[in-house]
Structure 1
């Protein structure tokens, strides 16, 4: 039902933080149920061991907290360890997946700071001018850990193009206004 929360690219471990951390199991031929949340304590220790031994880890994160919709009947079968993350509203429900809660605190805070910094950057740029992947600058310790913010592709439309052109030519329009005012 979902892709793995991790991927090996050579010797680099890529972690997809967000909805891919939800582990689903087939309950019947056409029915899935939530079995847990990646990582287990053992899996988290393996990531930490990989980092401590000098292995590279790239964490792809979308936002500080992701919510995944589900039906209330699915939510009723959520493992007890995840029940506190479920909110039910009538026939529908959602489960919260907090970002980076599996990392040791100093690394978790570093990742959350990256999210805050990129949120500020994103808020100041027209959508069409933003890259699909924002990557943490190198140099933070440990240097074999990097955070990246994965942005889902946005459809191209006239409003996004208008915003981009206004941004690109804002200084030219200001200069033209100054020249016109001076003459």
Structure 2
């Protein structure tokens, strides 16, 4: 269930399995890329694709852990006209022309559209609460990650919000996943 995309330098996964926890990086990492030749990249879709969506639905239904990492990164990806022309329709319809020019085109990544509505709402709530905390707290006093709170019914989906633009490294995300799901 690991997919790759290109954030301008090297492919990075939209979803990574750490032990028994699937970690999903919401945002620009969900735009999937293919490399048809040296130095060339082409967008090929959004994570999750049909097979990944089915596996994700089965994972959620069976109660397996999913950690969603909400970043302060962009929820859109700029594309050149040639990249957009080579993209499938599902990517092209998400594009809007940049201000004042035909290029670059901004491909807006739909926020948490792959989650059931109740889970999506929890993610949106953490994003709103975290944005207020980031606005009202000096940067030096902010933790690297803010975690959601577990409600009265335990959900297999948890959320963390990166409070810093760069975000923590993936080794820290793996540690956070273990801790949030009760594996010290």
TM-score by length of 1: 0.76
- Residue pairs, 1:41-56, within 5 angstroms: 41-56=50-65
Report the CA distance between 1:28 and its aligned residue: 1.8
Report the CA distance between 1:140 and its aligned residue: 5.4
1:71 aligns with 2:80: yes
Aligned residues: 154
2:29 to 15, 20, 30: 20
What is the match of residue 149 of structure 1?
A: 161
What is the match of residue 141 of structure 2?
A: 129
The structure whose residues are more often helix, as a share, is 1
What are the superposed Cα offsets for residues 76-115 of structure 1, whole Å, 9 maximum, x if unpaired?
Answer: 2221112121122323222111220111111111111111
Structure 1 residue runs without a partner (length 5+):
155-183
Local SS of the residue matching 2:109: strand
Runs of 4+, deviation exceeding 4 Å:
none
Taking only aligned residues, the RMSD between alpha carbons, in angstroms, comes to 2.0
Report the CA distance between 1:118 and its aligned residue: 1.0
Local SS of the residue matching 1:108: helix
What is the match of residue 173 of structure 2?
A: none
Q: Distance in 1 between matches of 2:93 and 2:133?
A: 32
Q: Distance in 1 between matches of 2:88 and 2:166?
A: 33
Q: Distance in 1 between matches of 2:119 and 2:152?
A: 10
Structure 2 residue runs without a partner (length 5+):
1-5, 168-184
TM-score by length of 2: 0.76
- Larger Rg belongs to: 1
